Structure 1
Amino acid sequence: MTDDVPEIKAIYTDGACSGNPGPGGWGTVIYFVDGQIHELGGYEPGTTNNRMEMQAAIAALQFLQQHDYHTPIELNTDSKYLIHGITQWMRGWKRKGWKTAAGKAVLNKDLWLALDELTQTLNAEQKVAIDWNYVKGHAGNVGNERCDEIARAFSQKRTISLKKSVDANAGNSSNPAAGAVVKPNPKSRTPKNVDPQTKIPLPTIDTTLSDMSDTRINRVSNMLKLLQTADELAKQGYLITTSELVVLTGVSAIELAKRGDDWTWRNWTVSCVSSESDQEKFWQLERIGE
């Protein structure tokens, strides 16, 4: 740890995107043990929410690297996509040559590679172990709420004052409204046109039974059918429509719009594989860990 950086208590990161894809922003807040706070933020004109979540984490790790920090840290994020990717999925992706279980190219590979290189370098050269910790978003957590505020301000190009406890010239932050130049992120992926695949009929959950014991048994049975359907969809690489995804997951169409193009449901990652030119959105499931 260098003289210009006090001991870090915790780091929070978050990303935001309008449109997904669309204009995005990321926010990183570093809390020091002595009470100081250092904030970073950035803007990307065309990106996704997941990429902004990843970019916020990259900025945090770059801060540690640039300041030659040598103490284990806790990094908090509300992105399960980020945590699962860096702690679980990446091992399988590497074994498969950065392919998913369905044989598709891993989304956001450029940023995953950057995160992987940073974590390995920090651990090997600076002995920095990173504790990737999930925090629920919009639940009153001060660090998470502040990161969200920063990310949204940058995504909308609104002026926001960032706290600076460390020399800003050594960091990676910028404020578009203040006239600073934002360091460009790697190019966002361009979704490929995908032809609809064979659709598997999704089961209908029976909620009309009156007997409580039979109802519980039927609910478990129906849920098992749903999970088996999801597994078959992932195994065969079939694509499903948004309305079918709503039936499968129980997540409303309004909530789906908020979750973006890549998110986690139970044991699967759910990814949008349609381009903006497609008349209807199609989704693909991939079993976590495969």
Structure 2
Amino acid sequence: MNLEHSPGEEGVFARRFLLCERLARDFSLDELITQCACCDTYFVACCYHGTFKGDLSPCKNFRLIFVDGACSNNGQADATAGIGIVMGSSESNQWGIPIDDTLDPGAKRTSQRAELLAALEGLEMMRMRYFETDVEEYRNMKRHELQTFKTHNARDSSGLVTHPQWIIASDSENVVLGMTEWLPKWKRKGMRRSQGKRPANLDLYLKLDEAISFVERKGFDVGFWKIPREGNTNADELAKMASRVAAMAS
């Protein structure tokens, strides 16, 4: 896992996904989200370092999933919550999942727990969908022959990525900063915040940390990408819908 980021590099650095300076400056979020015409799944465009001409092509190194959580009557006894996960534009690549005791047993329903559960379940979706195929694809590049992809066999001086990276896009600071900045600090302080208190929802942060570590041991990087709320509307709508379903079931 790379820790330091320079302006010319794109990829996962200390579990945070960062664009190269040029992509961040010259392209909108919509332009950066690319899609495979064969399997309908999302990717982040790769940094072209001044050589690119035409539309941004999907980069198989940067698989992308959008996640969000929603909660009605946040933190109250009658609160209901749901999560939304978006892997592609078709319904078969989108999920709205009500949060119940099967998913989060015995816990109070809150928006922050919903956001973290969305990231956890989104990572599990990626693992179930991509793990075996990604291993095979990187051994023998034969899939997606009908579409041109950029892919990189080595990270060179220009910053191109060497191996698959799974990107979890969220508009929640609770998720992105929590996993990339807060959790490492809590670990150094014996799982305590600066005030000496135990962090809220630490159980979910640790579950997500463990799940990411498992994926990393298999040779993949997982990075969190902080996107604006308006860039995450599909996952947000699915999460709200799932929260309403949870309310009807309660």
Q: What's the TM-score bracket when you normalise by the shorter of the two chains?
A: 0.5 to 0.7
How many residues are aligned here? 150
Q: How far apart, CA to CA, are the structure 2 residues paired with 1:117 and 1:49?
A: 22
AA of the residue aligned to 1:65: R
Shift of 1:96: 1.6
Secondary structure in structure 2 of the residue aligned to 1:17? strand
Shift of 1:152: 0.4
Shift of 1:157: 1.1
Is residue 155 of structure 1 aligned with residue 243 of structure 2?
yes
AA of the residue aligned to 1:57: A
Is residue 129 of structure 1 aligned with residue 221 of structure 2?
yes
Q: Which range moves more in the overlay, 86-95 or 68-77?
A: 68-77
Shift of 1:121: 0.7
The percentage of counterpart residues that share the same residue type is: 27
Q: Which residue of 1 aligns with 2:212?
A: 119
TM-score (normalised: structure 1): 0.47
Q: Which residue of 2 aligns with 1:12?
A: 66
Query: 1:38-70: CA deviations, max 9, x gaps?
Result: 112322254111111111110111122234254
Q: How far apart, CA to CA, are the structure 2 residues paired with 1:135 and 1:6?
A: 21
Q: Which residue of 2 aligns with 1:43?
A: 98
Q: Which residue of 1 aligns with 2:180?
A: 87
How is 1:131-210 mapped onto 2 (pairs within 5 angstroms)? 131-137=223-229, 139=230, 141=231, 144-157=232-245
Point out the structure with max Rg over C-alpha.
Answer: 1
Q: How far apart, CA to CA, are the structure 1 residues paired with 2:41 and 2:222?
A: 14
Q: Which residue of 1 aligns with 2:165?
A: 72
Query: 1:176-212: CA deviations, max 9, x gaps?
Result: 98x9xxxxxxxxxxxxxxxxxxxxxxxxxxxxxxxxx
Shift of 1:111: 0.5
Q: Which of 44, 48, 55 pairs up with 2:117?
A: 55
Shift of 1:73: 2.1
8 Å contact 1:13–1:76 — kept in the other structure? yes
Q: How far apart, CA to CA, are the structure 1 residues paired with 2:168 and 2:174?
A: 14
Q: Which residue of 2 aligns with 1:104?
A: 197
8 Å contact 1:8–1:73 — kept in the other structure? no
Where does structure 1 lack aligned partners over 5 or more consecutive residues? 159-175, 180-290
Q: CA 1:77/1:56 → structure 2, altered by over 3 Å: closer, same or farther? A: same
Q: How far apart, CA to CA, are the structure 1 residues paired with 2:216 and 2:91?
A: 25
Q: How far apart, CA to CA, are the structure 2 residues paired with 1:64 and 1:99?
A: 31
Q: Which residue of 2 aligns with 1:276?
A: none
8 Å contact 1:14–1:53 — kept in the other structure? yes
Q: Which residue of 1 aligns with 2:148?
A: none
Secondary structure in structure 1 of the residue aligned to 2:199? coil
Q: How far apart, CA to CA, are the structure 2 residues paired with 1:147 and 1:8?
A: 13
Query: 1:103-155: CA deviations, max 9, x gaps?
Result: 11111011001110111111111x22123111111x2x3xx111111100111
Secondary structure in structure 1 of the residue aligned to 2:211? helix
Q: Which residue of 2 aligns with 1:288?
A: none
Secondary structure in structure 2 of the residue aligned to 1:47? coil
Secondary structure in structure 2 of the residue aligned to 1:75? strand
Secondary structure in structure 2 of the residue aligned to 1:157? helix
TM-score (normalised: structure 2): 0.54
Secondary structure in structure 2 of the residue aligned to 1:131? strand
With a CA cutoff of 8 Å and minimum separation of 6, indicate the structure with the bigger relative contact order.
2
Where does structure 2 lack aligned partners over 5 or more consecutive residues? 1-38, 44-63, 101-107, 135-163
Shift of 1:74: 2.0
Shift of 1:6: 8.1
Is residue 29 of structure 1 aligned with residue 72 of structure 2?
no
8 Å contact 1:29–1:37 — kept in the other structure? no
